Amino acid sequence: MCGIIGYIGSKNAVPLVINGLRNLEYRGYDSAGIAAVVDGKLIVKKDVGKLDEVFSKVDISNLKSNVAIGHTRWATHGKVTKENAHPHTDCKGEIAIVHNGIIENYQELKKELESKGHIFRSETDSEVIAHLIEEGMKTKNFVDAFNEMIKKIVGSYAIVAINKDGKEMIGARKDSPLVVGISEDGYFIASDVPSFLDETKKVIYLYDGDVVVVNKKIVIYHDGKPVERDIDSIEWDAEQAKKGVFKHFMLKEISEQADVIKRAIMQDDKIINEIANEIKKSKGVFFVGCGTAYHACLEGSYIFSKVANMHVNVTYAHEFPNYVHFLTPESLVIAVSQSGETADTLEAIRAAKAKGAKVISIVNVAGSTLVRESDKVLLQHAGPEICVLSTKSYTSQLAVLTLLAYSLAGRLEEGKSKLKELIRYIYYLTSRNTRDYIRKLAEKLKDVKDIYIIGRDLQYPTALEAALKIKEVSYIHAEGFAGGELKHGNIALIEEGTPCIVFTSKENEKEIISNAAELKARGAYIIGVGPRNNEVFDFFIKVREAEEANSIVQIIPIQILAYQLAILRGLDPDKPRNLAKSVTVK
């Protein structure tokens, strides 16, 4: 969701915060702003639009400060206006805060504060935070007033606050990510690590309920008592989180998928086998995830069935609390998430743990909340994924689930060999030649209203993920179906020229080609994706047969198609409208 960064130290904080906001643009936002302490006064600059637009409207050239906070807002409470942009201040303009999350009791708090004479300038829930601190500072210092404010608010939050004294920067988190970066010349508090990777790789991951006070040192409190938190070192470097020679992060991350599969294969066998043993011991396994991660879970259930002869329950994380009455201490929940901060997924695992069930997570971000709250963790090692759309994290999740399935079957080395065979072919699928070929298809499809996608067996979840990729970045309506469902109503949607993508494999070729012929008979334009061409196809994308790993390779051409459609329609593939990289509110 929104992006937060603050800095306090010996350098000029303003350019560091602006650069940090640029590194957080992938999270999705509609307005931006910065607050800095200059000569004992709090200066706030904010407006609606992208960073370049905002900072062309507001002059920050003369801002020099040793402490500043910045924010990119994705609207929840209140319209997209300058007044609703962060940072928010108190009545006197002496306290500034930035906030991610939702303050559930803000209406009651706002009424109470207004009755005491406080004047609000925005429609947001976040502004109450600044006024609560202001109210507390009538009798307390800044730190104590901040702590009193935390006790009064209900909801989810990552908050960073400064005041005109510029002596401290304070942060707090609950159900929304916040990390501390430690550099040689100062400290950062931010919503995500890439914001300060240009300056440091040393990080402290704050726990839920932590309050951090930063001046010349870091003090972290939990339940009012000082606590120690480990300092971790980030494996990624700043260059990995940059576009390099690519025009967009989406294309860069699509192109990294061969290396992603290599890293998946290099997983520690001991960890894979330990988790496989936990799965064997459990009585009832649930896969939970949201969006692309849910599609990986669904695909994983097919792979577990085919490779390990094992049944797995699959549900959206936000629907999982409806199933908790099935759980016992012998149940196992496997949560899949790129960020490890998805609010619905965290709620699901907490519901599971409340029933005594064990939780294992498959996650990309070390140190995330999901990692800390799980009993065991399998890291994806996909590297930073900056584009809002998940591409390489999806194929990484499928690779990890494939290895787990083969370990369950006692054939881990065979699973590794199957994935190794894909690497050379993935290089081909992400090559310029393939991209240029798929662009020809994108040129045919760029103005269509609807695209339908079908698959059977392992290709059914692939169809769902393909549809998601197309609609979330090109804004073309796309739907994925199981091939056998066509005649149960969905074929009514097909008209003359309707594009239909058909995933095929050696296992289901006869049945799915029959479905494609049904579509063709009703005027559909048929796009085949699979190992063999067929006369029913109007356009064919060859993807080698990979059996249980078919979905890893077959999704890649559709990721490229989605990217090309966005480019041809004049859209930004890295930052689709209304979407955020990490959905940290329910």
CA distance 213 to 206: 12
Hunting for tokens 């065991």 — which residue is that? 376
Could you say which of 2, 290, 297, 387 is catalytic?
A: 2
Could you say which of 174, 252, 520, 581 is catalytic?
A: 581
CA distance 85 to 46: 6
Query: Which residues on neighbouring strands pair with residue 102, listed in sequence order?
Result: 156
C-alpha pair distances (Å), 354 with each of 94, 335, 347: 43, 15, 11
Tokens of 199: 């300056």
| Residue 350 region by backbone torsions, left for phi larger than 0, else alpha for psi between -120 and 50, else beta | alpha
DSSP annotation string for 202-257: EEEEPPTTEEEEESSSEEEEETTEEE--PPEE-SS-GGGGS-TT-SSHHHHHHHTH
CB 336 within 8 A of CB 296: yes
Cα dihedral 235, 237, 242, 244, rounded to 10, equals: -110
Tell me whether strands 88-89 and 67-73 are parallel, antiparallel or unpaired. unpaired
CA distance 62 to 543: 56
For 138, residues 6+ apart whose C-beta sits below 8 A from its C-beta are: none
CA distance 257 to 388: 16
Does residue 329 have a cis peptide bond before it, meaning omega lies within 30 degrees of 0?
no
Catalogue the E-assigned strands of 17-105: 31-38, 41-48, 67-73, 88-89, 95-103
Query: Which residues on neighbouring strands pair with residue 335, listed in sequence order?
Result: 288, 361
Active site residue 581: yes
Tell me whether strands 313-316 and 285-289 are parallel, antiparallel or unpaired. parallel
Tell me whether strands 450-455 and 477-482 are parallel, antiparallel or unpaired. parallel
CB 360 within 8 A of CB 377: yes
DSSP annotation string for 321-356: GGGGGG--TT-EEEEEESSS--HHHHHHHHHHHHTT
**What's the length of the chain?**
586
CA distance 377 to 139: 46
Active site residue 387: no
**CA-based torsion, 112, 117, 118, 120: positive or negative:** positive
3 state DSSP class of 552:
helix
Query: Could you list the active site residues?
Result: 2, 581
